[in-house]
Chain A
Amino acid sequence: MTPILETRGISKSYAGIGALRDVAVQVGEGERVGLIGPNGAGKTTLFNCILGLLAPDAGSVRLAGDDITSLPVHLRARRGIGRSFQRIELFTESTVREHLLIAERVRRGNGSLWKDLLGRGRPKADELQACDAVLERLGLGELADEPIEQLSLGQGRLVEVGRALMTHPRILLLDEPSSGLDRQETADLAATLRDLQGEQGFAILLVEHDVEFVAAFTQRCYVLDFGTLIADGPTAEVLERAIVRESYLGSVKRDDL
């Protein structure tokens, strides 16, 4: 079966210093995959190469078998790459519902200037319904009309997820979703994501610091260190391997002592 997302031989260097060397990852349909590694391992660089924010020096990115390496960010998004942000990126001056609504409209391709001018640009009932259904599902129903500025960080992350869901993603890239959240909030987020994934069948690629979260949430994971993949396989196994403990978890343990 073709993996939903695949990178082949991605390399990227900044000013001669290699940030990524020949990195190949695969995410299968409906899979939850983690990407871990110490700070500066190249996780964000890989992430940005997949999203199209950075152009890799070599290698290719494929979405469901199609080469998307040269597509701009927004076209990748339209093809089914949804994402959340480590430092949340929301649209100021908008309500919660408007965040989902704009994503819904872009997906449907309803945005033409002429339609706006003829007064057809206002939200339609079925669009609003679709947004409200997702908000309900995320437990944000009550907050639909709140200005986005009123929300807590955890709620903001949920809005990001909701916004990404409106694009009907085939894979959701989550960038450190637990940062800034406490344990309970993280667990709640993980539960919601797992449920949603069960219903809608999208895949998830998770970049995360919180090893516990990765262990509990993902089925498989990749470990990056100094721009190279040093391990991959079922999450539980990978986290047990000595090499991983040394490069990543080792430091955590030392700190604990």
Chain B
Amino acid sequence: MVLATALGEDLSRAFLQGLPPGSVYALIAIGFVLAYKTSGVFNLAFGAQAYVSAALYFQARLEWGWGILPALLVSVFILAPVLGLILERLIFRHLRTSSSVAKLVVAIGLTVAIPSLFDVLVGFEPVAGQTPTGIIPGGASVFYQPVGVYAFSRDELMAMGVAVVVMLGLAALFRFSGIGLQMRAVVESPRMTELNGIQADRVSAFSWALSSVFAGLAGVLIAPRFNTLAAPDFFNLVVVAIAAAAVGRLISLPRALAGGLGLGVFIAFANTFLPEWALSYPILAPIQDNVAPAVPFLVLFALLVLWPAVRATKEQADPLSGVDPPPPSLASHERSAGLTVATRVFAVVFFLTVGLVVFTQADVSWLFLVTQSVILSTLFLSITVITGLAGQISLCQGSFAAIGGFTVFQLSDRYGMSVLVAALIGAAVAAACAALLSLPIRRLGGVWVAIATLAFAFFFDAVMVKLPWVGGGGTSLLQGTRVPRPTIGPWDLGNDKAFLVLALVVFVVASLAVIQIREGTTGRTLRALRGSELASQSIGISPARSRVMAFALSGFLAGLGGAMLTMHQENVNYTLNFSPFAALFWLVLVVSLGSRTVEGAAQAGAAYALFEAIVLRGAVFGWIFRNTDRIPGIFPISPKWRFIIFGLGTIQFARHPEGLVEFNTRRAHRRAEALMARLGRSRAASPPEPDAPVTEESVP
């Protein structure tokens, strides 16, 4: 009897405790669905929008000493809708007919760019341990106990109150205004509705502004729950929102509301009961702290895999989107033989020069950065395979890389295994994990693969990393999981230059493998599959088998890169190197520079490691003037510009999915060929021959 009452009390307390965060989740889920419904954009940047409002509110209150109302007004009701309008007007309006994957990539870029841009513009610096304040005085310190079992803080009551008011307002908008109906029409086909006289642009702009206000409100309301105001936390939030929205198949607002509340309560249950169970089942102990935060990711993954209705949700691409021209074939396939030779000679000379300079001139820190860029290039080849060849967006490459790194750590730490052998095993383990992961999601379409892999990345981050047999458990993560450098026979790769040579060899071998695969049957099969799954099946290609293969390959390369990175840093450094948010930036880099070529991966690797040092710290001017004192005063520029520049760089993905490198290579080829033609003409002084079409000399 006593037990039963205690259980009942626990249950109702957990229920009440789950309501306030649940209502914020609901707000986010609804804002997310609004943007998705009206523009077909899977807006991962939603978390970034929430961050911006929360950060501005925080900055205005604490730094500038504003009152609650003006701060709230400016951050939520002015900044948020303006940001929404800017995003719609400058970016997503032009992408309306792009594929949903292209829109997703742009949203991922914005996720990376927006918080940094805000920080730079406003001069906001998140201070560790400085907990944000709520939107009501004494929010965290004054409590009410209306029901008895659970004491709500003022902040929590406020969150629920705001959520209720906002839902009522939204319901009224849909019921009593014409724009609600118009919003639904625009989703179906913007071009078609425009033919019917509805101004799709206006409707879409309105819903983006509205959605952004939701993001801002949610951001300000949820911020007091975090210890520190940091963009990655808000990115987690958007995954929670997607889980909630997935309950309503991303199209139903009422179900998104229910999903948000349900998730909040479910997490509270997990928080209440898991610790008790862990007492009786010690095996649960290491994960009990981490399962609760992982609940949304588990729910999301399970929904995607087990609930066919979510998968069947039609991709919100415009029916007329097929009229856009497809991406061109690789520039290297189209250039003439002469140009190919010239390019190769140039590349060899360039790399020999760079190599010579690095090996003779570079100090320890430059050597470190160059080695890092080479290793990351290997790692980024995994994105070349999965995104460039197979056309799938995977957001868990960081987890695969971490698996490689952790395997090296565990095998060398526990069994004293040679780290090089361990690295190969780590790559194989990562490949196996990737293949396993791809099995349940093999039938998901474009955007859903990205979301499922993102859910996996967060699950790995929250649960797996904390396990003793993965990340080393507990304190070892903090103290650094040390890994020795390898030795090969007489060579001790503890020497940085020797290790750079190893990294280069690995990269060259991996690149050659990727090129062979791209030009071989596997690459052709994947290209066919990307072109048309139906037609591929009709000639006997198994889509599932090909996808699993692509994932395994990509996992292998990521695991290898992760293992190399671990050996290089003599440490796994999980949070710095492999966290889901960090890995998001990888995708942004590779996609904006070129996801389809080895060169793209190499340049992305260089950009990741060297862009900050060479460009943002102004070292390039030091080299030009041969004097570090003459670097102009504006340097060093904030390293956040990396995120801004490359994040915004993804915007061109929709128009040039081949990436900046490919785009520029193609342009350079055309110019070079025109130049050669002109030179040839003037030298021969013969009647001008017509410019040969580029395709005539393409390699079959």
Contacts and interface: CB of A to CB of B under 8 A. Distances in A.
A68 to B, nearest CB: 13
B700 A117 contact: no
A147 B543 CA distance: 23
Interface string A62-87: 00000000001111011000110100
A164 interface: yes
Given A77-B538, A115-B520, 7 more contacts: A93-B326, A93-B328, A94-B527, A111-B522, A111-B525, A121-B519, A147-B695
24 contacts: A72-B542, A74-B537, A77-B540, A89-B532, A89-B538, A91-B528, A92-B327, A92-B532, A94-B528, A95-B698, A97-B700, A102-B528, A102-B539, A106-B539, A106-B541, A107-B539, A111-B525, A113-B553, A117-B513, A117-B516, A119-B520, A121-B519, A145-B700, A147-B695
Contact of A106 (B516, B523, B525): B525
Contacts of B543: 74
Given A77-B539, A90-B535, A91-B535, A149 B524 contact: no
Given A91-B527, A164-B539, A121 B698 contact: no
B310 interface: no
Nearest to A150: B695
Contacts of A103: 539-540
Q: In the complex, which range does the number of interface residues on chain B fall in?
A: 35 or more
Nearest to B532: A89
In this complex, the member of B534, B538, B541, B700 whose beta carbon has the largest number of chain A beta carbons within 10 angstroms is B538
Contacts of A107: 539-540
B517 A121 contact: yes
A116 B540 contact: no
Contacts of B539: 77, 82, 102-103, 106-107, 163-164, 166-167
Interface in B378-432: none
B531 interface: yes
Interface in B256-307: none
Nearest to A78: B540
A82 B540 CA distance: 9
Contacts of B695: 145-147
Contacts of A119: 516, 520
B445 to A, nearest CB: 15
B498 to A, nearest CB: 27
Nearest to A81: B538
A116 B513 CA distance: 8
B361 interface: no
B329 A93 contact: yes
Contacts of B513: 117
A120 B535 CA distance: 25
B634 to A, nearest CB: 43
A40 B247 CA distance: 33
B145 interface: no
B110 interface: no
A123 interface: yes
Contact of A116 (B517, B530, B700): B517
Contacts of B540: 74-75, 77-78, 103, 106-107, 167
A118 B522 CA distance: 12
Contacts of B326: 92-93, 149
B537 A117 contact: no
Contacts of B50: none
B106 interface: no
Nearest to B539: A103
Contact of A105 (B327, B521, B696): B521
Interface in B558-589: none
Contacts of B534: 53, 85, 89
B522 A121 contact: yes
A93 B531 contact: yes
A140 to B, nearest CB: 15
A179 to B, nearest CB: 16
Interface string B28-41: 00000000000000
Contacts of A183: none
B517 A91 contact: no
Interface string B586-609: 000000000000000000000000
A75 B257 CA distance: 44
B423 to A, nearest CB: 18
A116 B535 contact: no
B178 interface: no
A163 B695 CA distance: 22
A20 to B, nearest CB: 21
A113 B522 CA distance: 6
Interface string A152-172: 000000001001101100000
A78 B326 CA distance: 29
A76 to B, nearest CB: 9
B521 A116 contact: yes
Contacts of B538: 51, 73-74, 77, 82-83, 85, 89, 164
Nearest to B521: A111
Contacts of B520: 111, 115-117, 119-122
Contact of A121 (B325, B516, B532): B516
A226 B673 CA distance: 61
B525 A113 contact: no
